[in-house]
């Protein structure tokens, strides 16, 4: 009997690829195991076994698998089912999904090099036969490649052996690639036992009286390890005692200290002394009961709870229940909300049962969380993670919480898979037969609509915890510059007045401005020219701090100009404003206040936002200026005032969701004010205080907003009434992308008639030297989505077969956001 496997490869080709295996390999290969396979003339890819069968491919001769990389599957059946759903629903390949799902360290090169571990001599008697053969070979040859090992052992299944050799510290491998198997070793020291008695320590300190630095180290060690004399981390010791590595080495050489390497996880867990969760108040208790009741009828429930109503504490109660049943919980959050605030809160309740997963983690850290979730012995039962944590290898989920479910950052734009983590979570939960709770103070129209249609359950919380009133929201008209409404820079008198008062009371202020940089447009007063990005069709944004002009789409930057590029006039002006300018103005207006800024420019690096959030929490900042990063579920005790510098630019953004989003942003950022005791104050500066959205924000009238927006969506055939698929074509040659997009739209019209819009150039028609054209297909609820997609795939295939269009990139975006 012949055996074959179908393999998912990390490439954007729709199909699976078939390879041949031997009967003995067939006896232990399973779906979800990785294999290294040859591809094309010379490439080797890491792929994932999708299934095993006896059908030889007809179109080509199946090649043999090079290596088998796992003993047991690293991806389970449920995950593969989810991958298939994503690939079908979001119209991408399984390879696309695999690349997004697996930490990149899993997709390893097959050229990995193994070397002997020279740091440590090991006792060869502990090696099994196969391990010994490899170890022996390394005595004569400095390094071995994986396929050398394969030859020596005459098997393709070499990874398990390598893994065992690493565990026995006999060999080392290429850092990056095999990080997965390499425990991280942390260096510890402890006092040599002769000195651990009171007397011993006394005489040691006397002996060291001539070596004050060494003496200091011993004193510090003693204070850190206390009476137990347990080992202390060398990094902690040198920080605390300010000792150099030489000083510590001298103590080791003298035999006063002993060193150890202790294996630890890279991902640190703290807060091991767990606390009991809080007692809920009546509103929360009722909501909790209603959620449980609703789960009897619905798999998905929407919790609409105003800002600071205490949704998190309700989640905690639900989580307690699920883990008591021995099941896992996935708690999804937007990236930014995954800061110390919520992490600490959950860790105080659940300790090591919480694993964190966010995109700023290195691939090694991701692997660690992955293995932690995969292992049934692991303590981690709750994963707190951003978008991509839907891909972790859960085997027994009981509940998924999607907090801030309205957040658009749950949808991945680029690259494929262009999935929405909230909607994917609902599917993931249903495969596990688990429940999903969506939570928000400003639900997406999609979810609220589903709740109204009784597709989702619905629970409401209308009071803030502690009965703190919702913030008082005042609209400040900045159009009328006569009367009393003078402006100082971008600050109205009203705003200055309120900030002054809040600062006098030692409370804090948040100022929201939706654009970063200093000003989005620099314009010549003589000829009107404004500097543009050479790669994109946008004006460059002025960043005063770096004295640069920068493109926010491709990162292009240049030094700020002294004179106009077009006419040489020195009379340059800046139009519009960003966070940098607000920060500068506020510093001039309030020279004694401590001011900080939170936007993409100030939060790079792993702990970028964490630092600012902690500083605000600890009241080291009086005024924080920031972009929408400020809106994501943060909880501060002493913020009294929120100022929205300009409501109009977000309302006028050219997108059918602009009004919904503006409402959500403004309500969310307002929700940061007055959360604990006293009622907060919000000032919204606008040229158009009678805009319905602003009226709805100021009265916190979600339902009104919902009804009105739904009306528009209905009239203009937008989601959630209609589904839509956006097709984007890209090419560096404008004429080519235009011809191609006209062809594509015409073919689509043949199938779908006037449900097809476009092709149209988006507001920014060229990005990174690629011209874009968009085509929109609107799909009524009663039209079959899968049939529609089938037709689009057919059109796309025929498009790809046209030689002239081959270099045009086609992007399919289902449920585009």
702 binds ligand ADP (CB under 6 A): no
Question: Which CB atom, from 272 or from 279, has the smaller least distance to ligand ADP?
Answer: 279
Question: How far apart are CB 460 and ligand ADP at their closest, in Å?
Answer: 12
Q: And the tokens for 388?
A: 């991509």
524 binds Zn ion (CB under 5 A): yes
| Residue 92 annotated in ligand binding | no
DSSP 546-567: TTEEE-TTT--EEEPPSS-TTT
Q: And the tokens for 86?
A: 């994503």
305 binds, among ligand ADP, Zn ion, none (CB under 5 to 8 A by kind): ligand ADP
Stretch that binds ligand ADP, among 232-240, 272-280, 353-361, 539-547 (CB under 6 A): 272-280
**Torsional class of 758: left (φ above 0), alpha (ψ -120 to 50), beta (otherwise):** left
Stretch that binds ligand ADP, among 241-249, 292-300, 311-319, 586-594 (CB under 6 A): 311-319
Question: How far apart are CB 305 and ligand ADP at their closest, in Å?
Answer: 5
Residue 245 contacts residue 213 (beta carbons within 8 Å)? no
340 binds ligand ADP (CB under 6 A): no
Pairing of strands 508-512, 623-626: parallel
Residue selected from 239, 469, 567, 764 as contacting Zn ion according to rule CB under 5 A:
567
All residues at 6 or more sequence positions from 616 whose CB lies less than 8 Å from its CB, including other chains: 508, 596, 624, 636, 639
Question: How far apart are CB 471 and ligand ADP at their closest, in Å?
Answer: 13
Question: How far apart are CB 437 and ligand ADP at their closest, in Å?
Answer: 13
Question: How far apart are CB 214 and Zn ion at their closest, in Å?
Answer: 57
Helix (H, G, I), strand (E, B) or coil at 441: coil
Contacting ligand ADP within 583-602 (CB under 6 A) = none
529 binds Zn ion (CB under 5 A): yes
CA distance 400 to 384: 10
Question: Which CB atom, from 186 or from 527, has the smaller least distance to Zn ion?
Answer: 527
CA distance 628 to 600: 10
CA distance 419 to 83: 11
- Structure letter (DSSP) for residue 105: G
440 binds ligand ADP (CB under 6 A): no
312 binds, among Zn ion, ligand ADP, none (CB under 5 to 8 A by kind): ligand ADP
Q: And the tokens for 765?
A: 């028609």
566 binds, among Zn ion, ligand ADP, none (CB under 5 to 8 A by kind): Zn ion
Contacting ligand ADP within 629-648 (CB under 6 A) = 635
Residue 446 contacts residue 719 (beta carbons within 8 Å)? yes
Question: How far apart are CB 279 and ligand ADP at their closest, in Å?
Answer: 6
Question: Which CB atom, from 311 or from 726, has the smaller least distance to ligand ADP?
Answer: 311
CA distance 485 to 804: 60
| Residue 551 annotated in ligand binding | yes
For 296, phi then psi, to 5°, come to -70, -25
How distant, in Å, are the alpha carbons of 73, 91, 335, 386, 426 from that of 76? 7, 22, 26, 21, 18
Question: How far apart are CB 544 and Zn ion at their closest, in Å?
Answer: 19
Question: How far apart are CB 769 and Zn ion at their closest, in Å?
Answer: 9
Residue selected from 261, 553, 722, 751 as contacting Zn ion according to rule CB under 5 A:
553
Contacting ligand ADP within 451-490 (CB under 6 A) = 465
280 binds ligand ADP (CB under 6 A): yes
Q: And the tokens for 23?
A: 């009967």
Question: Which CB atom, from 565 or from 593, has the smaller least distance to Zn ion?
Answer: 565
Question: Which CB atom, from 162 or from 342, has the smaller least distance to ligand ADP?
Answer: 342
Question: How far apart are CB 565 and Zn ion at their closest, in Å?
Answer: 7
Stretch that binds Zn ion, among 339-347, 569-577, 660-668, 683-691 (CB under 5 A): 569-577
Residue 742 contacts residue 801 (beta carbons within 8 Å)? no
Helix (H, G, I), strand (E, B) or coil at 674: coil
Helix (H, G, I), strand (E, B) or coil at 59: coil
DSSP 117-165: -TT----GGGS-HHHHHHHHHHHHSSEEEHHHHHHHHT-S--HHHHHHH
Question: Which CB atom, from 218 or from 342, has the smaller least distance to ligand ADP?
Answer: 342
Q: And the tokens for 189?
A: 């020291």
Q: And the tokens for 780?
A: 């009524």
CA distance 460 to 304: 5
Type and span of the H or E element at 176: helix 175-178
Question: Which CB atom, from 470 or from 748, has the smaller least distance to ligand ADP?
Answer: 470
End-to-end Cα distance, the chain: 50
135 binds, among ligand ADP, Zn ion, none (CB under 5 to 8 A by kind): none
Q: Beta-strand (E) ranges in 315-471? A: 328-332, 354-357, 382-385, 397-403, 435-440, 457-461
Total residues at interface with ligand ADP (CB under 6 A)? 16
Total residues at interface with Zn ion (CB under 5 A)? 15
Length of the chain: 817
802 binds Zn ion (CB under 5 A): no
Pairing of strands 34-39, 43-53: antiparallel
Stretch that binds ligand ADP, among 113-121, 255-263, 306-314, 784-792 (CB under 6 A): 306-314
Question: How far apart are CB 765 and Zn ion at their closest, in Å?
Answer: 12
Stretch that binds Zn ion, among 215-223, 231-239, 499-507, 544-552 (CB under 5 A): 544-552
Question: How far apart are CB 18 and Zn ion at their closest, in Å?
Answer: 43
Question: Which CB atom, from 348 or from 526, has the smaller least distance to ligand ADP?
Answer: 348
Binding residues for Zn(2+): 524, 527, 533, 536, 551, 554, 564, 567
Residues at the interface with Zn ion (CB under 5 A): 524, 526-527, 529, 533, 535-536, 551, 553-554, 556, 564, 566-567, 569
Residues at the interface with ligand ADP (CB under 6 A): 278-281, 284, 305, 307-313, 465, 635, 675
């Amino acid at each position: 009997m012949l055996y074959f496997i179908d393999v998912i490869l990390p490439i954007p080709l729709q199909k699976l690829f078939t390879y041949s295996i031997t009967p003995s390999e067939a006896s232990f290969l399973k779906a979800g195991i990785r294999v290294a396979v040859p591809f094309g003339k010379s490439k080797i890819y890491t792929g994932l076994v999708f299934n095993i069968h006896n059908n030889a491919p007809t179109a080509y001769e199946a090649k043999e698998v090079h290596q088998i990389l796992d003993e047991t599957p690293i991806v389970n059946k449920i995950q593969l089912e989810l991958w298939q759903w994503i690939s079908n629903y979001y119209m991408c390949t399984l390879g696309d999904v695999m690349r997004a799902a697996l930490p990149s360290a899993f997709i390893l090169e097959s050229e990995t090099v193994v070397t002997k571990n020279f740091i440590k001599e090991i006792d060869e008697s502990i090696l099994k036969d196969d391990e010994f053969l490899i170890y022996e070979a390394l005595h004569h040859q400095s390094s071995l490649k994986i396929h050398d090992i394969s030859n020596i052992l005459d098997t393709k299944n070499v990874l398990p052996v390598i893994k065992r050799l690493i565990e026995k510290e006999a060999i080392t491998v290429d850092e990056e690639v095999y990080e997965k198997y390499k425990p991280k070793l942390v260096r510890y020291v402890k006092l040599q036992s002769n000195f651990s008695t009171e007397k011993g320590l006394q005489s040691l300190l006397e002996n060291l009286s001539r070596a004050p630095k060494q003496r200091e180290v011993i004193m510090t060690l003693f204070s850190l390890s206390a009476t137990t004399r347990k080992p202390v981390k060398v990094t902690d010791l040198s920080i605390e005692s300010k000792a150099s590595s030489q000083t510590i080495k001298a103590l080791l050489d003298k035999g006063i200290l002993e060193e150890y390497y202790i294996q630890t996880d890279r991902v640190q867990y703290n807060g091991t002394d767990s606390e009991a969760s809080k007692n809920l108040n009546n509103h929360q208790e009722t909501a909790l009961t209603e959620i449980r009741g609703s789960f009897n009828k619905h798999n998905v429930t929407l919790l609409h709870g105003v800002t600071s109503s205490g949704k998190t504490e309700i989640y905690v109660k639900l989580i307690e229940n699920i883990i008591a049943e021995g099941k896992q919980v996935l708690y999804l959050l937007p990236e930014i909300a995954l800061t110390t605030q919520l992490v600490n809160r959950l860790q105080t309740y659940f300790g090591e049962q919480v694993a964190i997963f966010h995109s700023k983690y290195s691939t090694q850290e991701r692997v660690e969380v992955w293995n932690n979730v995969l292992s049934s012995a692991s303590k981690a039962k709750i994963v707190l993670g951003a978008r991509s944590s839907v891909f972790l290898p859960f085997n027994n989920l009981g509940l998924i919480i999607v907090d801030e479910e309205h957040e658009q950052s749950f949808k991945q734009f680029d690259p494929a898979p262009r999935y929405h983590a909230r909607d994917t979570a609902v599917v993931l939960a249903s495969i596990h037969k688990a429940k999903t709770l969506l939570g928000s103070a400003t639900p997406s129209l999609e979810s609220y609509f589903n709740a109204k249609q009784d597709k989702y359950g619905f629970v409401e919380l209308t009071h803030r915890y502690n009965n703190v009133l919702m913030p008082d929201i005042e609209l400040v008209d900045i159009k009328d510059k006569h009367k009393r409404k003078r402006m100082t820079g971008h600050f109205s008198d009203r705003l200055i007045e309120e900030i002054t008062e809040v600062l006098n009371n030692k409370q804090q202020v948040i100022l929201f401005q939706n654009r970063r940089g200093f000003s989005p447009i620099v314009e010549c007063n003589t000829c009107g020219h404004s500097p543009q990005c050479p790669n994109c069709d946008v004006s460059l944004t002025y960043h005063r701090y770096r004295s640069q002009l920068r493109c926010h789409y491709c990162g292009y930057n240049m030094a700020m100009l002294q004179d106009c590029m077009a006419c040489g006039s020195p009379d340059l002006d800046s139009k519009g404003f960003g966070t940098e300018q607000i920060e500068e103005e506020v510093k001039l207006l309030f020279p004694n206040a401590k001011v900080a800024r939170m936007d993409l420019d100030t939060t790079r690096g792993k702990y970028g936002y964490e630092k600012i959030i902690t500083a605000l929490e600890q009241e080291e900042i009086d005024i924080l200026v920031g972009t929408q990063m400020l809106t994501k579920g943060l909880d501060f005790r002493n913020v009294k005032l929120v100022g929205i510098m300009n409501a109009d630019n977000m309302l006028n953004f050219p997108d059918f969701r602009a009004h919904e989003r503006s409402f959500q942003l403004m309500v969310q950022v307002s929700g940061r004010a007055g959360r604990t005791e006293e009622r907060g104050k919000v000032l919204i500066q606008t040229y158009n205080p009678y805009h319905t959205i602003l009226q709805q924000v100021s009265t916190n009238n979600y339902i009104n907003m919902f009804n009105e927006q739904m009306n528009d969506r209905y009239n203009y055939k937008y989601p959630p009434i209609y589904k839509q698929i956006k097709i984007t074509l890209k090419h560096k040659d404008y004429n080519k992308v235009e011809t191609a997009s006209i062809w594509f739209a015409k073919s689509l019209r043949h199938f779908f008639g006037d449900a097809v819009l476009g092709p149209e150039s988006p507001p920014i028609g060229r990005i990174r030297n690629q011209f874009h054209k968009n085509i929109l297909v609107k799909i009524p609820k009663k039209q079959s989505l899968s049939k529609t997609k089938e037709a689009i795939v057919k059109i796309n295939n025929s498009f790809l077969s046209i030689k002239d269009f081959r270099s045009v990139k086609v992007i399919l975006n289902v449920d585009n956001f």
